[in-house]
Amino acid sequence: MRLSRLVFQTLREAPKEADTVSHKLMVRASLIRQVAAGVYEWLPFGWRAVLKAAAIVREEMDRAGAQEVLLPQLSPRELWEESGRWGAYGKNLMRLKDRHERDFALGPTHEEVITDLARATLRSYRRLPATMYQIQTKFRDEMRPRFGVMRAREFMMKDAYSFDVDDAASERSYETMRVAYNRIFTRLGLNYRMVDADSGPIGGSFSQEFMVLADAGEDIIASCTSCDYAANMEKAESAPLPAPEGSAEAAPEAISTPGTKSANAVSKLLGRPIRDIAKLMFYQVGEELVGVMVRGDHEINEVRLARLLGVDEVVMAKADTIIAKTGLPIGYMGPVDLPGIRVIADRDLAAMPSIVTGANRVDEHLVHVKPGRDFTPALVSPIRKACEGDPCPKCGQPLKLMHGIEVGHIFKLGLKYSKAMHAVFLDEGGKEQMMVMGCYGIGVTRIVAAAVEQNHDDRGIIWPFSLAPYKAMVVPVGAEPDLVAAAEQLYVDLEAAGVEVLFDDRTEAPGVKFADADLLGVPVQLIVGKTFKARGLIEMRRRGTKQGIEVSPQDAVAQVKSLA
């Protein structure tokens, strides 16, 4: 491709709305252009990167025996009513009406549609197992689109769904996908981790996420520094902490703490480490008000809490509800003599020898409170978020927290959708059985953003070879006819050799050409300039390295070809 013909416009300055590195670079290098909040155009150069990612995903899906289909983006309300998600999916579901006022959704994911297809076609155990996938645009009316195509409202996703006769078979399908996913992300050249995850609103029992490690990532994962344990924050556990030294022989004692509501403030006032201060928070669980306690240096993991209580979701109680139900002052509540409220204590809080709690009186706290002696929690369980340095639940070595970009997620769905939508097959005995499902997603457009986030320098993108829209770029520097002719010849030869190559045939100043080449980030730069004038040689330079090597035009073609 000749740069003079490529539809693109590199920018020296990024639009002000771009804040992450990948967003800025993708706009500056003309990969994408924003049309509305969370809605983007992919320009030719960027679109090629998307196609590279999609091709690798497709190859590995096919290798894993999955069959490609294309499902409609528009789906009728009835299907969503069947699964219960017309209501449950909430505002993220893009909805619209047709001219007859019939309700439709623009698919954020396709469990309903595929289950409808499966129940119509996979009627016998003989047709199972079956895994189908598609690569298609998805719609989610995100609360807050962000970071360019990283969290967009319209994005490309590969979604796959497996259908099996029983749990054991479903397990095998899941494993096949897990292997395929690892192959995909390895081939894409990304630094990633597979982590245990909570399955969230898609439902189901168990899932794993594939996280590209990058500081700009919206998710936090806990990863063991020694073994292979890794989980996202919602799921991450830690081994019990050793209880700090000390004991509370003394009985609880009320002390005056005027205007000190937060654990932080109490810690400062008393000059005691924040871990000694208990935090008591209140959650609305159905009709019940539940108190939840963690150490001052810890945070409640609401997803774990919800699981523990056997509910879908917990919400913090409103202040006036708490006051109405207890009559006690917010900010000074404690578990000692707290009437009629079930208190759940975090395991590491319960192990403390002596803590500071609210006294249930304004401007007072209790010191020397010993869990188990001075109050008895209804339940003691690990319900806090893991922290940096916590002991790994598997091996006890320290955990490390890292930011990640979720690029893949695989779920065991179990019977959730087959039950709701009556997706059944006949077994060998002619009896109806529910299909056991799995679902497997990859954010294809997000992969491109994640790759840029992970592979760049201050000059621009440094494409991993597998995703690079072009593998080489010929850059003539000089106007001498023989030099220009040699560059042209090199470009033609590379194309003939099947190399995806860009040719900077523009009459730009050298600085502009080098700057654009670095910004676009094509892996191999072939500079026809001073070394050509002096010795008839091409300077071949890997993007991201300073110094190139000098090769003859013939060798340049051969070497680039061998890289591909």
Partner RNA sequence: CGGGGCGUAGCGCAGUGGUAGCGCGCCUGCCUUGGGCGCAGGAGGUCCCCGGUUCGAACCCGGGCGCCCCGACCA
Binding stretches for RNA (CB under 7 A) = 9-17, 19, 28, 34, 36-38, 143-147, 261-265, 279-282, 294, 299-302, 316-319, 322, 330-331, 333, 385, 459, 477-479, 507-512, 514-519, 527, 529-532, 539, 548
Burial track 410-447 (b if 16+ CB lie within 10 A, e otherwise): bbbbbbbbbebbebbbeeeeeeebbbbbbbbbbbbbbb
- Decide whether 387 or 415 has the Cβ nearer to RNA: 387
Q: Closest distance between RNA and the C-beta of residue 96, in Å?
A: 15
- Closest CB to RNA among residues 302, 500: 302
When the beta carbons of 189 and 331 are compared against RNA, the nearer one is 331
User: Which CB atom, from 65 or from 331, has the smaller least distance to RNA?
Assistant: 331
Least spacing, CB of residue 262 vs RNA, in Å:
2
User: Minimum distance between the CB of residue 128 and RNA, rounded to whole angstroms?
Assistant: 41
CB of 27 to RNA, least distance (A): 8
d(C-alpha 301, C-alpha 236), whole Å: 9
Confirm if 435 and 129 have CB atoms less than 8 A apart: no
How many angstroms separate the CA atoms of 400 and 348, rounded?
19
How do strand 472-476 and strand 501-503 relate by DSSP bridges?
Answer: parallel
Q: Which is nearer to RNA, 423 or 475 (CB)?
A: 475
Indicate the residue among 279 and 446 with the shorter CB distance to RNA: 279
Q: How far is the CB of 172 from RNA (least distance, A)?
A: 36
Minimum distance from residue 67 beta carbon to RNA (Å): 37
**DSSP code for 466:** T
**Given the complex with RNA, which of 370 and 459 has the nearer CB atom?**
459
- How far is CA 135 from its chain centroid? 18
CA-atom Rg of the chain in angstroms: 29
Kindly state the smallest distance separating residue 21's Cβ from RNA, in Å. Answer: 13
Angle at 156 between CA 155 and CA 158, to 5 degrees: 140
Q: What is the DSSP string of 102-154?
A: -EEEE-SS-HHHHHHHHHHH--BGGG-SEEEEEEEEEE---SS-BTGGGB-SE
- Give residue for tokens 């030099």: 483
In angstroms, give the least distance from the CB of 66 to RNA: 34
Q: Minimum distance from CB of 371 to RNA (Å)?
A: 17
Please give the sequence-ordered ranges of beta strands (E in DSSP) within 37-81, or none if there are none.
39-42, 67-68, 74-76
Could you give phi then psi for residue 462, rounded to 5 degrees? -125, 90
Centre a 10 Å sphere on the Cβ of residue 529 and count the other Cβ atoms it contains: 18
* Residue 119 or 541 having the CB closest to RNA: 541
Q: How far is the CB of 219 from RNA (least distance, A)?
A: 13
Between 131 and 357, name the residue whose CB sits nearer to RNA.
357
Closer residue to RNA (CB): 9 or 137: 9
DSSP state of 195: E
* Minimum distance from residue 145 beta carbon to RNA (Å): 6
Query: Minimum Å distance from CB 109 to RNA?
Result: 20
Supply the angle between the helices 553-563 and 481-496 in degrees, to the nearest 10.
30
Task: Check: CB of residue 246 under 8 Å from CB of residue 218.
Answer: no
Residue closer to RNA (CB basis): 68 or 312: 312
Q: Shortest Cβ distance from residue 211 to RNA (Å)?
A: 18
Is the distance from CB of 181 to CB of 410 less than 8 angstroms? Answer: yes
Enumerate residues 6+ apart whose C-beta is below 8 A from 431.
Answer: none
Answer for the pair 393, 239: CB distance below 8 angstroms, yes or no. Answer: yes
Tell me whether residue 7 or residue 168 sits nearer to RNA (CB atom). Answer: 7
The owner of tokens 């060998």 is 428
Closer to RNA by CB, 35 or 55: give it: 35
Report whether 68 contacts 58 (CB < 8 A).
Answer: yes
Burial 264-276 (b: 16+ CB within 10 A, else e): eebbebbebebbb
Half-sphere exposure of 298 (CA within 13 A, CB side): 31
Handedness of CA 174, 179, 180, 184 (dihedral sign): positive
Q: Characterize the bridge pairing of strands 130-139 and 103-106.
A: unpaired
**Which tokens is 328 given?**
């006690």
